[in-house]
Structure 1
Protein backbone atom coordinates (compact mmCIF):
# COMPACT_ATOMS: atom_id res chain seq x y z
CA UNK A 1 0.00 0.00 0.00
CA UNK A 2 1.39 3.38 -1.03
CA UNK A 3 2.02 5.75 1.85
CA UNK A 4 0.41 9.19 1.92
CA UNK A 5 3.07 11.92 1.92
CA UNK A 6 2.78 14.54 4.66
CA UNK A 7 4.53 17.89 4.92
CA UNK A 8 4.82 18.70 8.62
CA UNK A 9 5.84 22.25 9.58
CA UNK A 10 6.54 22.47 13.32
CA UNK A 11 9.27 24.52 15.02
CA UNK A 12 9.09 22.74 18.40
CA UNK A 13 11.76 20.06 18.02
CA UNK A 14 10.48 17.63 20.67
CA UNK A 15 6.85 17.89 19.59
CA UNK A 16 7.71 17.72 15.89
CA UNK A 17 9.87 14.66 16.45
CA UNK A 18 7.07 12.86 18.29
CA UNK A 19 4.50 13.71 15.61
CA UNK A 20 6.80 12.59 12.80
CA UNK A 21 7.50 9.24 14.46
CA UNK A 22 3.85 8.65 15.30
CA UNK A 23 2.64 9.44 11.79
CA UNK A 24 5.29 7.17 10.28
CA UNK A 25 4.18 4.32 12.54
CA UNK A 26 0.71 4.78 11.00
CA UNK A 27 1.95 4.45 7.42
CA UNK A 28 2.47 8.10 6.52
CA UNK A 29 5.66 9.28 4.78
CA UNK A 30 6.61 12.49 6.62
CA UNK A 31 8.86 15.36 5.59
CA UNK A 32 9.47 17.64 8.57
CA UNK A 33 10.29 21.35 8.21
CA UNK A 34 11.40 23.37 11.24
CA UNK A 35 9.96 26.73 10.10
CA UNK A 36 7.50 28.16 7.58
CA UNK A 37 10.06 29.25 4.99
CA UNK A 38 11.73 25.84 4.93
CA UNK A 39 8.29 24.23 4.54
CA UNK A 40 7.44 26.46 1.57
CA UNK A 41 10.77 25.72 -0.11
CA UNK A 42 10.25 21.98 0.33
CA UNK A 43 6.67 22.14 -0.93
CA UNK A 44 7.59 24.11 -4.06
CA UNK A 45 10.48 21.76 -4.85
CA UNK A 46 8.23 18.70 -4.68
CA UNK A 47 5.45 20.43 -6.64
CA UNK A 48 7.92 21.36 -9.39
CA UNK A 49 9.03 17.72 -9.52
CA UNK A 50 5.38 16.64 -9.93
CA UNK A 51 5.47 14.85 -6.58
CA UNK A 52 3.01 16.97 -4.53
CA UNK A 53 2.30 16.18 -0.90
CA UNK A 54 -0.90 14.32 -0.10
CA UNK A 55 -1.66 16.53 2.90
CA UNK A 56 0.02 19.28 4.95
CA UNK A 57 0.12 19.86 8.71
CA UNK A 58 1.18 23.38 9.76
CA UNK A 59 1.84 24.88 13.15
CA UNK A 60 0.45 28.43 13.20
CA UNK A 61 3.17 30.16 15.24
CA UNK A 62 6.54 29.57 13.52
CA UNK A 63 9.66 31.64 12.86
CA UNK A 64 10.42 33.16 9.43
CA UNK A 65 6.86 32.51 8.19
CA UNK A 66 3.70 31.76 10.18
CA UNK A 67 1.35 28.93 9.28
CA UNK A 68 -1.38 31.19 7.88
CA UNK A 69 1.01 32.90 5.46
CA UNK A 70 2.49 29.55 4.50
CA UNK A 71 -0.98 28.15 3.75
CA UNK A 72 -1.91 31.18 1.63
CA UNK A 73 1.20 30.76 -0.52
CA UNK A 74 0.59 27.04 -0.98
CA UNK A 75 -3.07 27.62 -1.87
CA UNK A 76 -1.98 30.03 -4.60
CA UNK A 77 0.24 27.30 -6.07
CA UNK A 78 -1.73 24.13 -5.34
CA UNK A 79 -5.28 24.94 -4.17
CA UNK A 80 -6.25 21.26 -4.21
CA UNK A 81 -3.84 20.29 -1.40
CA UNK A 82 -5.65 19.64 1.91
CA UNK A 83 -4.09 21.06 5.08
CA UNK A 84 -4.52 21.13 8.85
CA UNK A 85 -3.45 23.79 11.36
CA UNK A 86 -1.89 23.06 14.75
CA UNK A 87 -1.92 25.83 17.33
CA UNK A 88 -1.53 26.57 21.01
CA UNK A 89 -3.95 29.46 20.61
CA UNK A 90 -7.58 29.07 21.60
CA UNK A 91 -8.78 32.40 20.24
CA UNK A 92 -11.97 32.12 18.20
CA UNK A 93 -10.68 34.62 15.64
CA UNK A 94 -7.65 32.45 14.86
CA UNK A 95 -9.74 29.36 14.30
CA UNK A 96 -12.14 31.23 12.03
CA UNK A 97 -9.20 32.69 10.08
CA UNK A 98 -7.77 29.21 9.53
CA UNK A 99 -11.08 27.76 8.39
CA UNK A 100 -11.73 30.71 6.07
CA UNK A 101 -8.42 29.95 4.38
CA UNK A 102 -9.84 26.53 3.62
CA UNK A 103 -8.20 24.46 6.34
CA UNK A 104 -9.65 20.97 6.60
CA UNK A 105 -9.16 20.96 10.35
CA UNK A 106 -7.79 23.04 13.22
CA UNK A 107 -6.32 21.22 16.22
CA UNK A 108 -5.51 23.03 19.47
CA UNK A 109 -2.47 21.93 21.47
CA UNK A 110 -2.02 19.96 23.59
CA UNK A 111 -3.58 16.96 21.87
CA UNK A 112 -2.93 13.24 21.63
CA UNK A 113 -1.02 12.17 18.53
CA UNK A 114 -3.65 9.57 17.66
CA UNK A 115 -6.19 12.39 17.33
CA UNK A 116 -4.09 13.89 14.51
CA UNK A 117 -3.81 10.50 12.79
CA UNK A 118 -7.59 10.02 12.96
CA UNK A 119 -8.28 13.52 11.62
CA UNK A 120 -5.84 13.08 8.71
CA UNK A 121 -7.34 9.72 7.76
CA UNK A 122 -10.86 11.16 7.81
CA UNK A 123 -9.83 14.12 5.62
CA UNK A 124 -8.13 11.85 3.11
CA UNK A 125 -11.12 9.51 3.07
CA UNK A 126 -13.48 12.38 2.18
CA UNK A 127 -11.08 13.67 -0.47
CA UNK A 128 -10.63 10.27 -2.08
CA UNK A 129 -14.39 9.73 -2.10
CA UNK A 130 -14.89 12.82 -4.25
CA UNK A 131 -12.11 11.78 -6.63
CA UNK A 132 -13.43 8.22 -6.88
CA UNK A 133 -16.97 9.37 -7.61
CA UNK A 134 -15.68 11.65 -10.37
CA UNK A 135 -13.28 9.29 -12.18
CA UNK A 136 -15.90 7.85 -14.50
CA UNK A 137 -16.83 11.36 -15.60
CA UNK A 138 -13.84 13.64 -15.19
CA UNK A 139 -15.87 16.70 -16.22
CA UNK A 140 -19.53 17.55 -16.60
CA UNK A 141 -21.73 20.50 -17.35
CA UNK A 142 -23.34 22.62 -14.66
CA UNK A 143 -25.45 25.11 -16.56
CA UNK A 144 -23.09 27.17 -18.70
CA UNK A 145 -20.07 25.90 -16.75
CA UNK A 146 -17.87 22.84 -17.05
CA UNK A 147 -16.82 21.36 -13.72
CA UNK A 148 -13.72 19.15 -13.58
CA UNK A 149 -13.46 17.80 -10.01
CA UNK A 150 -10.38 15.69 -10.72
CA UNK A 151 -8.34 18.71 -11.84
CA UNK A 152 -10.14 21.12 -9.48
CA UNK A 153 -11.37 23.41 -12.25
CA UNK A 154 -14.56 25.34 -12.99
CA UNK A 155 -14.60 26.59 -16.58
CA UNK A 156 -16.81 29.30 -18.10
CA UNK A 157 -16.21 30.10 -21.76
CA UNK A 158 -12.42 30.32 -21.95
CA UNK A 159 -11.91 31.28 -18.31
CA UNK A 160 -10.75 28.67 -15.80
CA UNK A 161 -11.28 29.10 -12.08
CA UNK A 162 -8.90 26.94 -10.07
CA UNK A 163 -10.67 25.45 -7.08
CA UNK A 164 -9.47 24.50 -3.65
CA UNK A 165 -10.03 20.94 -2.49
CA UNK A 166 -12.87 22.13 -0.26
CA UNK A 167 -14.54 24.15 -3.02
CA UNK A 168 -14.46 21.14 -5.36
CA UNK A 169 -15.97 18.90 -2.68
CA UNK A 170 -18.72 21.42 -2.01
CA UNK A 171 -19.62 21.84 -5.70
CA UNK A 172 -19.63 18.06 -6.21
CA UNK A 173 -21.94 17.54 -3.23
CA UNK A 174 -24.28 20.32 -4.35
CA UNK A 175 -24.46 18.96 -7.89
CA UNK A 176 -25.21 15.44 -6.65
CA UNK A 177 -28.12 16.93 -4.70
CA UNK A 178 -29.16 19.68 -7.12
CA UNK A 179 -32.65 21.18 -6.95
CA UNK A 180 -33.35 19.73 -3.52
CA UNK A 181 -32.98 21.14 -0.04
CA UNK A 182 -29.83 20.00 1.73
CA UNK A 183 -29.81 20.41 5.51
CA UNK A 184 -26.89 22.40 6.87
CA UNK A 185 -25.77 19.68 9.26
CA UNK A 186 -25.81 17.05 6.48
CA UNK A 187 -23.73 19.29 4.23
CA UNK A 188 -21.27 20.12 7.00
CA UNK A 189 -20.76 16.49 7.98
CA UNK A 190 -20.34 15.40 4.36
CA UNK A 191 -17.74 18.04 3.41
CA UNK A 192 -16.24 19.29 6.69
CA UNK A 193 -16.64 16.13 8.73
CA UNK A 194 -18.26 18.06 11.59
CA UNK A 195 -21.20 20.41 12.13
CA UNK A 196 -19.74 22.61 14.88
CA UNK A 197 -19.97 26.41 15.03
CA UNK A 198 -16.59 27.07 13.44
CA UNK A 199 -17.19 24.76 10.49
CA UNK A 200 -20.54 26.46 9.97
CA UNK A 201 -18.81 29.84 9.76
CA UNK A 202 -16.30 28.40 7.32
CA UNK A 203 -19.07 26.95 5.15
CA UNK A 204 -20.81 30.33 4.94
CA UNK A 205 -17.59 31.83 3.54
CA UNK A 206 -17.32 29.07 0.95
CA UNK A 207 -20.97 29.43 -0.07
CA UNK A 208 -20.31 33.12 -0.77
CA UNK A 209 -17.35 32.16 -2.96
CA UNK A 210 -19.43 29.67 -4.96
CA UNK A 211 -22.13 32.28 -5.56
CA UNK A 212 -19.46 34.52 -7.11
CA UNK A 213 -18.07 31.66 -9.21
CA UNK A 214 -21.50 30.86 -10.68
CA UNK A 215 -22.72 34.45 -11.09
CA UNK A 216 -22.32 34.43 -14.91
CA UNK A 217 -25.22 31.99 -15.32
CA UNK A 218 -28.57 33.39 -14.15
CA UNK A 219 -30.04 29.89 -14.23
CA UNK A 220 -27.84 28.81 -11.32
CA UNK A 221 -28.43 29.93 -7.73
CA UNK A 222 -27.66 28.83 -4.20
CA UNK A 223 -30.71 29.59 -2.08
CA UNK A 224 -30.67 29.59 1.70
CA UNK A 225 -33.50 28.74 4.06
CA UNK A 226 -32.33 30.38 7.28
CA UNK A 227 -31.45 27.83 9.94
CA UNK A 228 -32.62 24.93 7.78
CA UNK A 229 -30.52 24.32 4.68
CA UNK A 230 -29.50 25.25 1.15
CA UNK A 231 -30.67 24.45 -2.35
CA UNK A 232 -28.37 24.40 -5.40
CA UNK A 233 -30.88 25.35 -8.11
CA UNK A 234 -30.29 24.80 -11.79
CA UNK A 235 -33.09 25.87 -14.14
CA UNK A 236 -33.37 23.52 -17.10
Structure 2
Protein backbone atom coordinates (compact mmCIF):
# COMPACT_ATOMS: atom_id res chain seq x y z
CA UNK A 1 0.00 0.00 0.00
CA UNK A 2 1.53 3.32 -1.08
CA UNK A 3 -0.81 5.74 0.64
CA UNK A 4 -3.19 6.20 -2.28
CA UNK A 5 -6.42 8.10 -1.66
CA UNK A 6 -9.22 6.93 -3.96
CA UNK A 7 -12.24 9.11 -4.84
CA UNK A 8 -14.84 6.98 -6.64
CA UNK A 9 -17.49 8.36 -9.01
CA UNK A 10 -20.11 6.76 -11.25
CA UNK A 11 -20.55 9.96 -13.28
CA UNK A 12 -17.35 11.07 -15.02
CA UNK A 13 -18.57 14.67 -15.16
CA UNK A 14 -18.74 14.66 -11.37
CA UNK A 15 -15.23 13.24 -11.24
CA UNK A 16 -13.83 15.92 -13.53
CA UNK A 17 -15.55 18.67 -11.56
CA UNK A 18 -14.10 17.33 -8.32
CA UNK A 19 -10.62 17.10 -9.86
CA UNK A 20 -10.94 20.66 -11.18
CA UNK A 21 -11.90 21.89 -7.72
CA UNK A 22 -8.86 20.08 -6.29
CA UNK A 23 -6.68 21.72 -8.95
CA UNK A 24 -8.12 25.15 -8.15
CA UNK A 25 -7.62 24.72 -4.40
CA UNK A 26 -3.98 23.68 -4.89
CA UNK A 27 -3.45 26.59 -7.25
CA UNK A 28 -4.88 29.23 -4.94
CA UNK A 29 -2.96 27.87 -1.97
CA UNK A 30 0.36 27.90 -3.84
CA UNK A 31 -0.17 31.38 -5.25
CA UNK A 32 -1.16 32.76 -1.85
CA UNK A 33 1.97 31.24 -0.30
CA UNK A 34 4.64 31.96 -2.91
CA UNK A 35 3.05 33.74 -5.88
CA UNK A 36 3.34 30.88 -8.38
CA UNK A 37 1.72 27.51 -9.14
CA UNK A 38 3.85 24.98 -11.01
CA UNK A 39 1.78 22.20 -12.58
CA UNK A 40 2.70 19.34 -14.93
CA UNK A 41 -0.09 17.90 -17.07
CA UNK A 42 -0.45 14.64 -18.97
CA UNK A 43 -1.65 13.77 -22.45
CA UNK A 44 -4.23 11.39 -23.84
CA UNK A 45 -7.99 11.87 -23.96
CA UNK A 46 -8.77 11.36 -20.25
CA UNK A 47 -7.77 14.90 -19.14
CA UNK A 48 -10.15 16.48 -21.68
CA UNK A 49 -13.00 16.50 -19.16
CA UNK A 50 -10.80 18.18 -16.56
CA UNK A 51 -9.63 20.75 -19.11
CA UNK A 52 -13.25 21.59 -19.92
CA UNK A 53 -13.98 22.24 -16.24
CA UNK A 54 -10.88 24.42 -15.89
CA UNK A 55 -11.99 26.52 -18.86
CA UNK A 56 -15.33 27.06 -17.13
CA UNK A 57 -13.61 28.41 -14.02
CA UNK A 58 -10.92 30.44 -15.81
CA UNK A 59 -12.20 33.76 -14.47
CA UNK A 60 -11.66 32.57 -10.90
CA UNK A 61 -8.14 31.20 -11.43
CA UNK A 62 -4.96 33.30 -11.13
CA UNK A 63 -3.88 32.32 -14.64
CA UNK A 64 -0.97 34.77 -14.75
CA UNK A 65 0.62 32.91 -11.82
CA UNK A 66 0.33 29.38 -13.27
CA UNK A 67 3.40 27.84 -14.91
CA UNK A 68 2.46 24.92 -17.20
CA UNK A 69 4.74 21.95 -17.75
CA UNK A 70 4.27 18.46 -19.20
CA UNK A 71 4.69 15.09 -17.55
CA UNK A 72 5.66 13.49 -20.85
CA UNK A 73 5.61 13.96 -24.60
CA UNK A 74 5.75 11.84 -27.73
CA UNK A 75 8.69 12.58 -30.03
CA UNK A 76 6.57 14.20 -32.73
CA UNK A 77 6.10 17.76 -33.95
CA UNK A 78 3.83 19.94 -31.75
CA UNK A 79 1.17 20.16 -34.47
CA UNK A 80 1.02 16.37 -34.94
CA UNK A 81 -2.21 14.64 -33.83
CA UNK A 82 -0.21 12.53 -31.35
CA UNK A 83 1.34 15.52 -29.56
CA UNK A 84 0.39 15.86 -25.89
CA UNK A 85 1.16 19.56 -26.11
CA UNK A 86 -0.95 19.96 -29.24
CA UNK A 87 -3.97 18.34 -27.64
CA UNK A 88 -3.63 20.40 -24.45
CA UNK A 89 -3.21 23.59 -26.49
CA UNK A 90 -6.43 22.90 -28.39
CA UNK A 91 -8.49 21.71 -25.43
CA UNK A 92 -7.21 24.08 -22.74
CA UNK A 93 -4.29 26.44 -23.20
CA UNK A 94 -5.51 28.38 -26.24
CA UNK A 95 -8.93 28.78 -24.65
CA UNK A 96 -7.35 30.26 -21.53
CA UNK A 97 -5.38 32.78 -23.63
CA UNK A 98 -2.23 32.19 -21.62
CA UNK A 99 0.99 34.13 -21.78
CA UNK A 100 3.53 32.17 -23.82
CA UNK A 101 6.15 32.67 -21.11
CA UNK A 102 3.98 30.58 -18.78
CA UNK A 103 3.93 27.53 -21.07
CA UNK A 104 6.94 25.17 -21.06
CA UNK A 105 6.38 22.42 -23.57
CA UNK A 106 8.79 19.56 -24.13
CA UNK A 107 10.37 20.15 -27.55
CA UNK A 108 10.36 16.41 -28.15
CA UNK A 109 10.89 16.76 -31.88
CA UNK A 110 14.48 17.87 -31.16
CA UNK A 111 17.37 15.48 -30.34
CA UNK A 112 18.38 17.48 -27.25
CA UNK A 113 14.82 17.66 -25.89
CA UNK A 114 15.40 15.81 -22.61
CA UNK A 115 18.49 17.80 -21.67
CA UNK A 116 16.85 21.12 -22.54
CA UNK A 117 13.67 20.31 -20.62
CA UNK A 118 15.63 19.26 -17.54
CA UNK A 119 17.57 22.53 -17.67
CA UNK A 120 14.31 24.53 -17.84
CA UNK A 121 12.89 22.63 -14.88
CA UNK A 122 16.03 23.09 -12.79
CA UNK A 123 15.99 26.81 -13.57
CA UNK A 124 12.33 27.52 -12.85
CA UNK A 125 11.35 25.13 -10.07
CA UNK A 126 12.52 24.91 -6.47
CA UNK A 127 14.65 21.85 -5.76
CA UNK A 128 14.47 19.65 -2.69
CA UNK A 129 17.45 18.38 -0.67
CA UNK A 130 17.95 15.58 -3.20
CA UNK A 131 18.15 18.06 -6.06
CA UNK A 132 14.75 17.04 -7.43
CA UNK A 133 12.18 19.58 -8.67
CA UNK A 134 9.15 20.25 -6.50
CA UNK A 135 6.05 20.67 -8.65
CA UNK A 136 2.98 21.89 -6.81
CA UNK A 137 0.80 19.42 -8.72
CA UNK A 138 1.37 16.63 -11.22
CA UNK A 139 -1.60 15.30 -13.19
CA UNK A 140 -1.29 11.65 -14.21
CA UNK A 141 -3.18 8.89 -15.95
CA UNK A 142 -2.85 5.11 -15.93
CA UNK A 143 -2.84 2.85 -18.95
CA UNK A 144 -4.38 -0.65 -19.00
CA UNK A 145 -0.84 -2.05 -18.70
CA UNK A 146 -0.18 -0.05 -15.52
CA UNK A 147 2.02 2.57 -17.15
CA UNK A 148 1.93 6.21 -16.09
CA UNK A 149 3.61 9.18 -17.75
CA UNK A 150 5.81 7.40 -20.34
CA UNK A 151 7.09 4.90 -17.79
CA UNK A 152 6.22 1.49 -19.24
CA UNK A 153 6.46 -1.87 -17.44
CA UNK A 154 8.67 -3.54 -20.04
CA UNK A 155 11.25 -0.71 -19.99
CA UNK A 156 10.91 0.44 -16.41
CA UNK A 157 13.84 -1.43 -14.85
CA UNK A 158 16.20 -0.33 -17.63
CA UNK A 159 15.76 3.41 -17.00
CA UNK A 160 18.46 5.40 -15.17
CA UNK A 161 17.58 6.29 -11.60
CA UNK A 162 19.41 9.59 -11.28
CA UNK A 163 17.63 11.75 -13.85
CA UNK A 164 14.79 14.27 -13.73
CA UNK A 165 13.90 13.85 -17.41
CA UNK A 166 14.30 10.59 -19.33
CA UNK A 167 14.44 9.50 -22.95
CA UNK A 168 12.26 6.42 -23.40
CA UNK A 169 12.31 4.07 -26.43
CA UNK A 170 9.07 3.47 -28.29
CA UNK A 171 6.72 1.22 -26.26
CA UNK A 172 6.15 -2.31 -27.47
CA UNK A 173 2.36 -2.47 -27.21
CA UNK A 174 1.04 1.08 -26.72
CA UNK A 175 0.31 3.42 -29.61
CA UNK A 176 1.70 5.59 -30.99
CA UNK A 177 4.89 3.54 -31.23
CA UNK A 178 7.27 6.48 -31.03
CA UNK A 179 10.01 7.37 -28.54
CA UNK A 180 9.01 9.56 -25.59
CA UNK A 181 10.42 12.15 -23.20
CA UNK A 182 9.14 11.80 -19.64
CA UNK A 183 9.59 12.98 -16.10
CA UNK A 184 11.26 10.31 -13.99
CA UNK A 185 9.57 8.46 -11.16
CA UNK A 186 11.70 10.39 -8.66
CA UNK A 187 10.70 13.74 -10.13
CA UNK A 188 7.00 12.86 -10.07
CA UNK A 189 7.15 11.60 -6.50
CA UNK A 190 8.82 14.83 -5.39
CA UNK A 191 5.70 16.84 -6.30
CA UNK A 192 3.64 18.21 -3.43
CA UNK A 193 0.46 16.73 -4.91
CA UNK A 194 0.01 13.85 -7.33
CA UNK A 195 -3.39 13.29 -8.95
CA UNK A 196 -4.48 10.36 -11.11
CA UNK A 197 -7.49 10.57 -13.43
CA UNK A 198 -8.71 7.07 -14.28
CA UNK A 199 -11.79 6.14 -16.32
CA UNK A 200 -12.98 2.81 -17.68
CA UNK A 201 -14.02 -0.36 -15.92
CA UNK A 202 -11.21 -2.26 -17.67
CA UNK A 203 -8.76 -0.59 -15.27
CA UNK A 204 -10.60 -1.34 -12.04
CA UNK A 205 -9.03 -4.75 -11.42
CA UNK A 206 -5.60 -3.26 -11.98
CA UNK A 207 -6.37 -0.44 -9.55
CA UNK A 208 -7.51 -3.00 -6.98
CA UNK A 209 -4.18 -4.84 -7.32
CA UNK A 210 -2.25 -1.59 -6.84
CA UNK A 211 -4.38 -0.58 -3.87
CA UNK A 212 -3.70 -3.93 -2.21
CA UNK A 213 0.06 -3.46 -2.59
CA UNK A 214 0.47 -6.35 -5.04
CA UNK A 215 1.34 -4.40 -8.19
CA UNK A 216 4.90 -3.26 -7.58
CA UNK A 217 5.86 -4.16 -11.15
CA UNK A 218 3.42 -1.55 -12.47
CA UNK A 219 4.94 1.95 -12.77
CA UNK A 220 1.69 3.55 -11.58
CA UNK A 221 2.11 1.72 -8.27
CA UNK A 222 5.39 3.53 -7.73
CA UNK A 223 3.70 6.91 -7.28
CA UNK A 224 3.30 7.51 -3.56
CA UNK A 225 0.75 9.55 -1.60
CA UNK A 226 -1.41 10.19 -4.67
CA UNK A 227 -5.06 11.14 -4.95
CA UNK A 228 -6.91 8.94 -7.44
CA UNK A 229 -10.07 10.32 -9.07
CA UNK A 230 -11.77 7.26 -10.51
CA UNK A 231 -14.89 6.92 -12.67
CA UNK A 232 -16.41 3.44 -12.77
CA UNK A 233 -19.83 3.04 -14.39
CA UNK A 234 -21.82 0.01 -13.12
CA UNK A 235 -22.47 -2.52 -15.86
CA UNK A 236 -20.07 -0.91 -18.33
CA UNK A 237 -17.43 -3.08 -19.96
CA UNK A 238 -15.26 -0.29 -21.40
User: Structures share a fold, TM > 0.5?
Assistant: no
Q: State the structure with bigger RCO (CA 8 A, min sep 6), 1 or 2.
A: 2
Q: Normalized against structure 2, the TM-score is what? A: 0.27
- Name whichever structure is richer in strand by fraction: 1
Bigger-Rg structure (1/2): 1
Q: Normalized against structure 1, the TM-score is what? A: 0.27
